[in-house]
Structure 1
């Protein structure tokens, strides 16, 4: 029983860590550049491509986090 609790806590910490990185990548690489370009003429092509790449990386990390959390034991 105790090993199951330890495994679950470690699994949750790993999932939360990955999801935190996903949120940071989204905020810094996607959200911030797009908001910063609102007052300008719009995002340049480099900013748009970087934002899309960061969004996809963030999504991939979030989905990996969800997959890890599926490993929780009852």
Structure 2
């Protein structure tokens, strides 16, 4: 039973970590790179809203990553 529990826990942690990576890439890295390279329309609503949204995506990604690490603490020996 503990082997099945461990594999399911690792699968959930991996899925959460994947969502965290996607959140950081899509919501934090991409907009900042677009603004840095001067892509037209990248900051169409202004720099501050773009920065706030990027930081929110970063916070969500870091939070999900920390949750995935916490899930791995449920592994049974």
Q: TM-score, with normalisation over the residues of structure 2?
A: 0.88
Moved over 2 A (4+): none
Q: Tell me, yes or no, if structure 1 residue 73 matches structure 2 residue 76.
A: yes
**Distance across 1 between alignment mates of 2:12 and 2:33:** 30
Question: What is aligned with 2:57?
Answer: 54
Question: What is aligned with 1:11?
Answer: 9
**Distance across 1 between alignment mates of 2:2 and 2:16:** 21
The alignment yields a C-alpha RMSD, in angstroms, of 1.3
Aligned length: 71
Listed as ranges, the gaps of 5+ residues in structure 1 are none
For residues 9-35 of structure 1, the C-alpha deviation after alignment (integer angstroms, 9 at most, x for no partner) is 000000000000000000000000000
Q: TM-score, with normalisation over the residues of structure 1?
A: 0.91
**Distance across 2 between alignment mates of 1:46 and 1:57:** 16
- Match of 1:37, SS state, is helix
